[in-house]
Chain A
Amino acid sequence: MGTVHARSLEPLPSSGPDFGGLGEEAEFVEVEPEAKQEILENKDVVVQHVHFDGLGRTKDDIIICEIGDVFKAKNLIEVMRKSHEAREKLLRLGIFRQVDVLIDTCQGDDALPNGLDVTFEVTELRRLTGSYNTMVGNNEGSMVLGLKLPNLLGRAEKVTFQFSYGTKETSYGLSFFKPRPGNFERNFSVNLYKVTGQFPWSSLRETDRGMSAEYSFLSMCGPERCLISMLQFPIWKTSHTVKWEGVWRELGCLSRTASFAVRKESGHSLKSSLSHAMVIDSRNSSILPRRGALLKVNQELAGYTGGDVSFIKEDFELQLNKQLIFDSVFSASFWGGMLVPIGDKPSSIADRFYLGGPTSIRGFSMHSIGPQSEGDYLGGEAYWAGGLHLYTPLPFRPGQGGFGELFRTHFFLNAGNLCNLNYGEGPKAHIRKLAECIRWSYGAGIVLRLGNIARLELNYCVPMGVQTGDRICDGVQFGAGIRFL
């Protein structure tokens, strides 16, 4: 009998070049059966052995968990499908550079006539990989050194270290990640970091030194199911992350001319918070999705585990996408959040929300909406923002099937509001306050997709509803980022 080589089953995209990662639009590959294998296809088979070649420091137990399903296959097509899925799971562990699958009939004394052997040929990643980059940005240059130790102790633990040394700031981050053997979605990670940021719209400089511990898992039961059916989401897994974070924050003025309101916030503070984030994502891609929806809900409670900042913060993001005729996509998104300080101390500028910019309400300058003092934007304790978009392929479709597929024409309508709430008043007063003086804008532009992570936009925007104090950027606006309204 002939052997079936099922090597490197790459997922084939359904239409056009797709720059997605593995598993994004995974399509099962049909192999043309030869004459003899036609019989095999319908015949019952039994997977007798699964071999692994090339394991070094990887421990057996995590491998066994990932490939358990292969043994349950009943016929050849199922064997191929299950091996393909096992291969995807092994690659997802992040410990192998390459995984090849070989399916062969069973040889040997205990071989059954319909027995099959599946062999996974793997190449482990090296113990230590490093990278070195230099970055040049706004009047600043920096060297970035990255170190990664995958599969540290044999069970897909990963340690990453990144160090950035710049002319203005230095930052670093160390993170340890451990998945649960057999259940990769349940994972635990500990991070240590120092990050500095400069925010010219507030004349503020912030240095955060902190550590965090988080635990992620998937769930399909409980309140999400009710939520899912209410919003008519297709059934999809919900990802939860529970995190404790302790941060030593140092705020300072960016220049001598910072406003006094920002000067009053200078100094050190300690934030210790517990947070929970829930993500339901049924989109086919995170950048320029064609269909599906996203719901992210995040809540954070600070002050009850120590520290001198005390608040409860709620934040959500909703996005719905629908494909229309002529390859165009209609997308609606809605963001909102609220920060309630607990106790007498007012909220800190580092915890408040900001609005405006090429990635949020287009047509306004970066984070330049809402309460401000002498030109420095102080952020607000409650906000909402919404956007309606129509994405179409470029007119006359240049470069169709190739480079042109990365671009989209984009028509948008954005609206939102940001303000501080007086929590002594009731919810009706809050809604009224958020509904008056709404800022909004409309326009059109071009979107370029960068891999599966980021996008660039060049838009012509017309801002409306501008209040005194807001800074606008009407006309052409350029934006780059990963999260857009």
Chain B
Amino acid sequence: MSLVAEAFVSQIAAAEPWPENATLYQQLKGEQILLSDNAASLAVQAFLQMCNLPIKVVCRANAEYMSPSGKVPFIHVGNQVVSELGPIVQFVKAKGHSLSDGLEEVQKAEMKAYMELVNNMLLTAELYLQWCDEATVGEVLEDVDQCCQALSQRLGTQPYFFNKQPTELDALVFGHLYTILTTQLTNDELSEKVKNYSNLLAFCRRIEQHYFEDRGKGRLS
């Protein structure tokens, strides 16, 4: 978004508090949603849960056409519509909620770098797997392995990537890893790669338990 547009949106957004009826739209589970879209939607849901903002999930067959940018998920808050994790984080920040405010500049840069890593490696792997599924899958799996290694190293034994507080990076990583681990694909090699890193598995389980089951949300949507 341009600077002017950003400033405008923040002005408008900051004026109103987070309403009770905020909704998140995604495609239908089961028969319609794709791997990458599912990961993105989970990431946004996890992020909003971490910010303690109530959100209701609605599944609609035409969700991607409803979205202003053509990508899912998008949230409908008041009379604003915002799509994709990046802009949603900005929007939520304008309303005064942020997970990464406590970080120093260096850490913020690092967080952005890891988010790009996840987007480049894991997202590409998911897209590849859902559309191609060919012989060059070896290279894709290599990349995934490298990405998971980097994430695992950064996480170490901490509960979250940056000290004890979760950030949007945690939400993004959780979204992707959880989707990879739980979606049934023709090829199980991707989830096998992730399962090699026990601290990442524990990380996913921890977030699932803390932000989804404990909050009385029931099973993850």
Contacts and interface: CB of A to CB of B under 8 A. Distances in A.
A binds B: yes
A443 interface: no
B66 A266 contact: yes
Nearest to B61: A267
A263 B83 CA distance: 13
Nearest to A266: B65
B76 interface: yes
Query: Chain B CB within 10 Å — which of A256, A264, A268 has the most?
Result: A264
Given A256-B68, A260-B76, A266 B81 contact: no
B62 A266 contact: yes
Contacts of A264: 60, 62, 66
B27 to A, nearest CB: 11
A267 B65 contact: yes
B186 interface: no
Contact of B66 (A256, A263, A374): A263
Interface in B39-74: 60-62, 65-66, 68
A252 interface: yes
Contacts of B76: 260
Contacts of B65: 251-252, 266-268
Contact of B79 (A253, A260, A266): A260
Given A253-B68, A267-B65, 20 more contacts: A251-B65, A252-B65, A256-B68, A260-B76, A260-B79, A260-B81, A263-B66, A263-B81, A264-B60, A264-B62, A264-B66, A266-B62, A266-B65, A266-B66, A267-B61, A267-B62, A267-B66, A268-B62, A268-B65, A374-B79
Contacts of B79: 260, 374
B29 to A, nearest CB: 18
Nearest to A262: B66
Contacts of B66: 263-264, 266-267
A264 B61 CA distance: 10
19 contacts: A251-B65, A253-B68, A256-B68, A260-B76, A260-B79, A260-B81, A263-B66, A263-B81, A264-B60, A264-B62, A264-B66, A266-B62, A266-B66, A267-B61, A267-B62, A267-B65, A267-B66, A268-B62, A268-B65
Contacts of A374: 79
A267 B67 CA distance: 10
B133 to A, nearest CB: 26
Interface residues of B, number: 9
Contacts of A260: 76, 79, 81
Contacts of A267: 61-62, 65-66
Interface string A256-285: 100010011011100000000000000000
B66 to A, nearest CB: 5
B56 to A, nearest CB: 14
Query: Chain A CB within 10 Å — which of B61, B62, B76 has the most?
Result: B62
A264 B23 CA distance: 13
A268 B60 CA distance: 12
Nearest to A263: B66
B100 to A, nearest CB: 28
Interface string B140-156: 00000000000000000
A19 B208 CA distance: 78
Contacts of B81: 260, 263
Query: Chain A CB within 10 Å — which of B60, B65, B76, B79 has the most?
Result: B65
Query: Chain B CB within 10 Å — which of A260, A263, A264, A268 has the most?
Result: A263
Nearest to A264: B66
A253 B76 CA distance: 15
A252 B68 CA distance: 10
A115 B163 CA distance: 114
A377 B61 CA distance: 24
Contacts of A253: 68
A475 to B, nearest CB: 32
Contacts of B61: 267
A251 B65 CA distance: 9
Interface in A226-265: 251-253, 256, 260, 263-264
